[in-house]
């Protein structure tokens, strides 16, 4: 609870606000524009199906939001470890919590808070989309032009049988990716003394995997490319993605332990 309480300091809410700003821009410039066109295309309600128009289902805006996720994570409570390490406050916390307590408390709180903030931001976008657009269910025939395929969308069969379940799945998937980037930023905060280096670390590493996966240079998944409902790459299996994710989480815990020990010995 110690780290969770610290997470709600005003200075750690910038990532959440950034996410809300991106959602607001999507609602105003994408959904709002569609809203104004409803009267002109009232005989084609399938064109305004909200299940295709929320931010992670929009080709352009899903890419923007995916690229913003590392920054949202970096501007949140993941800054705690950097602040502790560079102010010397980490020694006080280590005396109080111990090394393992610090590692577990800091990383789990960063993951949980970043996950929840991302889920809330995307839930807000979904809410506005359904408030502004007619609640038209996806139709496999009328919406065939959308081009959804199991090669580019997880659980694509849910789009026509359980569309809201598909939205929930991708919201949770985005929250998991954000939590991982938050942990990455927290770990980097123990190794780098330059705040901008720490802030951009998640984005740079995410962008490297983005380019490598997009150009098929390495056979590793990019978390930024699998988040849109309509991915721009052939999707790895969920089992492969989960395994890679768990390996990344384990490595971050290892690096966090090494970083904490380094500061404890100074």
* 36: CB partners within 8 A, 6+ apart: none
Q: Is 122 exposed, middle or buried (0-12, 13-18, 19+ CB in 10 A)?
A: buried
Least confident of 12-16, 91-95, 163-167, 180-184: 91-95
pLDDT band at 1 (very low <50, low <70, confident <90, very high): low
- Length of the chain measured in residues: 266
Q: From CA 220, how far away is CA 186, in angstroms rounded?
A: 23
Helix (H, G, I), strand (E, B) or coil at 78: coil
- Give pLDDT, residue 144: 58
Q: From CA 113, how far away is CA 5, in angstroms rounded?
A: 11
Cα 77 to chain centroid, rounded: 14
**pLDDT tens figures, 220-254:** 778 888 999 988 888 888 999 999 999 999 999 99
**pLDDT tens figures, 163-209:** 999 999 999 999 999 999 999 999 999 999 899 999 999 999 988 88
Q: From CA 231, how far away is CA 252, in angstroms rounded?
A: 26
Task: Quote the mean pLDDT of the chain.
Answer: 88
């Amino acid at each position: 609870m110690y780290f969770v309480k610290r997470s709600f300091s005003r200075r750690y809410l910038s990532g959440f606000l950034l996410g809300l700003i991106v959602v607001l821009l999507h609602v105003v410039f994408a959904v709002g524009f569609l809203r104004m066109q409803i009267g002109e295309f009232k005989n084609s309600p399938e064109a305004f199906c909200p299940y295709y128009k929320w931010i992670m289902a929009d080709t352009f805006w899903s890419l923007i939001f995916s690229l913003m996720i590392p920054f949202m994570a970096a501007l949140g409570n993941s800054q705690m470890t950097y602040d502790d390490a560079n102010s010397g406050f980490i020694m006080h916390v280590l005396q109080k919590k111990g090394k393992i307590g610090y590692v577990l408390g800091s990383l789990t709180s960063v993951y949980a808070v970043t996950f929840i903030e991302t889920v809330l931001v995307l839930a807000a976008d979904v809410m506005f989309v359904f408030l502004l657009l007619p609640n038209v269910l996806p139709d496999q025939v009328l919406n065939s032009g959308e081009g959804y395929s199991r090669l580019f969308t997880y659980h694509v069969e849910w789009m026509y049988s359980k569309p809201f379940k598909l939205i929930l799945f991708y919201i949770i998937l985005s929250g998991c990716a954000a939590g991982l980037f938050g942990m990455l930023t927290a770990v980097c905060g123990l190794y780098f003394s330059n705040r901008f280096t720490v802030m951009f670390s998640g984005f740079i590493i995410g962008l490297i995997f983005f380019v490598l996966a997009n150009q098929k240079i390495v056979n590793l998944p990019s978390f930024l490319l699998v988040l849109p409902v309509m991915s721009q790459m052939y999707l790895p299996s969920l089992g492969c993605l989960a395994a890679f994710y768990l390996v990344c989480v384990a490595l971050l815990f290892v690096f966090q332990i090494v970083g904490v020990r380094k500061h404890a010995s100074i």
